[in-house]
Structure 1
Amino acid sequence: MIPRLPNSSAGSIAPNLSAPQHRPRPLPLFLDMLRSETGSDPGRMKAALAGLRAYQSAPRTPRAPAPSTVGQIGRVRVHGYAEAGRPVLFVPSLINGCEILDLSVENSMMRGLAASGLQPFLLDWGTPGPDEADLDIGAHVERYLLPALDLLGPDTVLAGYCLGGTMSIAAAALSAPRALLLIAAPWDFDGFSSQTRNDLLQLWEGAATAAEQLGLLPAEILQQIFWRIDPVRTIAKFEQFSTKDPSSAEGRNYIAVEDWANDGPPMTFAAGRQLMKSLMVENCTGQGAWTVAGRTIAPDRLRMPILNIASTIDRITPEATALPHGERLSLAEGHVGMVVGRKAPESLWHQIALWVSQLQNS
């Protein structure tokens, strides 16, 4: 049975569908990048601008029905998708929202896994306020993730996506789940190129003063992380969209993903600083120097089953950044595409369901 807290209430994780989100954020910087990438090729620039206009003006389809909220810890909610099966708590990144794992009626990993017989739960980080400015990434694990894991019980599989996987490694070291499942989760940040790390440090240094005053690192700054990691792909997506039918299944999926990418919550100041400096630049995780709740996180001491899923073509979290422990599964799919792409149901979703089902017999 799904555990419920007395103060739980149903809630939607749907993003705001108002017009301001239907643009890359911040738009002026996106247009500068577009000019930089296509300035020498008027045809490409025309196609990218046409794709941008098509994305901005396309009608939005209704979101998936709101999942049930089975527990709440402060601003963080735990959403449930099934009444029975092996419980699996999915932890998304602090960058962007959790909606990518429950994207639409047509394309939801959570609902797909529920249909396969699992009992998936999704951690929704909510929106932090300036009063949490001092809450770094490790403190999010301690304050929110560990209580969510306790809520679901010791038989729960912990599954982290992207930075949520990094955080799940820390949580597993502090309170062992039944098993640990990592999806495109960075651990050894030396696996990023020196150019990417230098670019992100420069981005942080330009934003740090304002972010400290706000107590938050705005979503507009976080979005630039992905742009700087892969500007070519960022613009190419809009070029390709100019030839698509926005009302087709492929077009609707593209719009839903872009809306998700452009509507993320801010990150607390301390979490942003720790991501940019301690993880990305200093590689405290890969160097064995990350402490959470007063303990050094040592993944080599984990004794539960671990499935480490990485992508051979991931430019957001390259395969070289993955944890060097556990059973490795490599997929030739992109960072977001492995979750919501055309192949996702038969690839990533199927592999997760298969691996977790084998745990049931062990």
Structure 2
Amino acid sequence: MEASPTAAHTALAQSNVAPQHGPRPLPLFLNILWRETESDPELRRAAFRGLRRYQEATRPPPPPAPGPGPCAGHARLLRYGTDNGRHPVVFIPSLINPPQVLDLSENRSLLRHMAAAGHDAWLVDWGTPQPGDTTLGLAGHVSERLLPMLAHLPRPPILVGYCLGGTLALGAAVLRTMKAIATIAAPWDFAGFPDHDRTEIGALWNRAKPLCDRLGYVPMEVLQSGFWAMDPARTIRKYAAFADTAPGSDAERAFLAVEDWANGGPPLTFAAGDDLFAKFYADNMSGNGDWTIGERHIDPSALNCPSLSVRSTTDRIVPAASCPPLSEILNLPLGHVGMVVGGMARERLWHPLSAWLSTHGG
């Protein structure tokens, strides 16, 4: 079944201004700004200038929408490459925030780089959860969304999962034969997270869970507030620094694109949110070997294909110690987002990953 181009690409194409007065949730951001700058009036003024500039800046148009492919429910595959007789390479983003971080702009697109390098590159767009998706958990995203779409491909694919997408990719690769799998900053052993972060995230979920249960989904604002809680000072400093970024520069365009991505995206289904916060962060179900899809335990050591774990040594969102123990490991001194869209991403991640994919049939 063929799907239309993503709603996100269409919506962005219709507007070149900030989609809302972000960051979201704005009241919480302002509260953090005020608290973090209480003893530094100059930093406070710079952060407010950066915030106003972000809200009022004109956005460049997004890159052209990719070709549509197979879909399952409201998830779909988007095609960036062409059939070259080699194994498709399917990039799987997190369920949190839109997939556009892997196709941020013409110059900062991992997917377009891979297609230009000759890979038959595809991107999973998870879509927007519908009212009937409330009980679709993380396992369901693998068995009812990801695997049915992959079944339409002409050859066993190579999976490349980013962040939580890497966790889901591991589930798919244990259940079905894949040519190879690579994960990028994927959380697996949640004991590798600092105790403080797990405590903060647990408290956040305890407060938010009753409302999310009634809604049937986890609003993006709940997820964003959890990220901010990990490093509130950095959240404010980056807006203060943006106040002095040269107008029209690549740095300005990159900041706008990354922040718009971070402040956007559909909600999580309630079941996926509860799995993530209660079963993974709190109980470390995956790291302890207790995560099952159907009757199958998901154990990375059971993979029967080549595997690569790309880790960031400076990541606060997914520490290197939490990443899966795969057969090959690539450590990068780049941040969680910077490793895929930053100034050093092309040299440190894109080129080595492309070479690895080629080596294993992609």
Distance 2:30 2:264 in 1: 18
* 1:297 equivalent in structure 2: 298
Aligned residue runs from structure 1 range 236-275, under 5 A: 236-275=237-276
SS of equivalent residue, structure 1 residue 310: strand
Q: Displacement, 1:116?
A: 0.9
Preserved contact between residue 202 and residue 282 of structure 2 (Cα < 8 Å): yes
Q: Displacement, 1:130?
A: 2.4
Q: Which amino acid aligns with 1:261?
A: A
Q: Which amino acid aligns with 2:46?
A: A
Distance 2:164 2:157 in 1: 20
Q: Displacement, 1:146?
A: 0.8
Distance 1:181 1:22 in 2: 36
Distance 1:222 1:138 in 2: 19
Query: Deviation string for 1:45-84 (max 9, x for gaps)?
Result: 1111111111111101000001010111110110001113
Preserved contact between residue 89 and residue 119 of structure 2 (Cα < 8 Å): yes
Distance 1:206 1:80 in 2: 40
Q: Which one of the candidate residues 1, 4, 10 is aligned to 1:9?
A: 4
Alpha carbons of structure 1 residues 351 and 21: separation in structure 2 relative to 1, 3 Å: farther
Preserved contact between residue 102 and residue 109 of structure 2 (Cα < 8 Å): yes
SS of equivalent residue, structure 2 residue 360: helix
* 1:95 equivalent in structure 2: 96
Identity of aligned residues (%): 46
Distance 1:314 1:206 in 2: 26
Aligned residue pairs, count? 356
* 2:150 equivalent in structure 1: 149
Q: Displacement, 1:244?
A: 0.1
Alpha carbons of structure 1 residues 129 and 354: separation in structure 2 relative to 1, 3 Å: same
Q: Displacement, 1:41?
A: 0.8
Preserved contact between residue 82 and residue 121 of structure 2 (Cα < 8 Å): no
Distance 1:20 1:8 in 2: 24
Distance 2:147 2:154 in 1: 11
Dislocated runs of 4+, deviation >6 Å:
none
RMSD across aligned C-alpha pairs, in angstroms? 1.4
* 1:41 equivalent in structure 2: 40
Q: Which amino acid aligns with 2:111?
A: M
Q: Which amino acid aligns with 1:36?
A: R
* 1:211 equivalent in structure 2: 212
SS of equivalent residue, structure 1 residue 21: coil
Aligned residue runs from structure 1 range 283-362, under 5 A: 283-360=284-361
Preserved contact between residue 309 and residue 329 of structure 2 (Cα < 8 Å): yes
After superposing the two structures, state which structure 1 stretch, 15-24 or 111-120, moved more: 15-24
1:54 aligns with 2:53: yes
* 1:65 equivalent in structure 2: 64
Q: Displacement, 1:153?
A: 4.0
Distance 1:262 1:253 in 2: 14
SS of equivalent residue, structure 2 residue 151: helix
Q: Displacement, 1:119?
A: 1.1
Preserved contact between residue 216 and residue 266 of structure 1 (Cα < 8 Å): yes
Q: Which amino acid aligns with 1:51?
A: G
Distance 1:246 1:106 in 2: 18
Distance 2:270 2:63 in 1: 32
1:181 aligns with 2:182: yes
Distance 2:243 2:278 in 1: 38
Distance 1:41 1:204 in 2: 31
Q: Which amino acid aligns with 1:71?
A: P
Distance 1:20 1:148 in 2: 30
Aligned residue runs from structure 1 range 113-128, under 5 A: 113-128=114-129
Q: Displacement, 1:10?
A: 3.8
Preserved contact between residue 11 and residue 66 of structure 1 (Cα < 8 Å): yes
Distance 2:237 2:3 in 1: 43
Query: Deviation string for 1:133-155 (max 9, x for gaps)?
Result: 11111111110011122122443
Q: Displacement, 1:93?
A: 0.4
Q: Displacement, 1:12?
A: 5.2
* 2:75 equivalent in structure 1: 76
Distance 2:65 2:237 in 1: 33
SS of equivalent residue, structure 1 residue 347: helix
Q: Displacement, 1:23?
A: 1.0
Distance 1:8 1:267 in 2: 21
Query: Deviation string for 1:185-228 (max 9, x for gaps)?
Result: 01000111111111111111111111111101001111112111
Q: Displacement, 1:22?
A: 4.1
Q: Which amino acid aligns with 1:240?
A: A
Distance 2:94 2:18 in 1: 25
Distance 1:278 1:268 in 2: 15
Alpha carbons of structure 1 residues 196 and 33: separation in structure 2 relative to 1, 3 Å: same
Alpha carbons of structure 1 residues 315 and 97: separation in structure 2 relative to 1, 3 Å: same
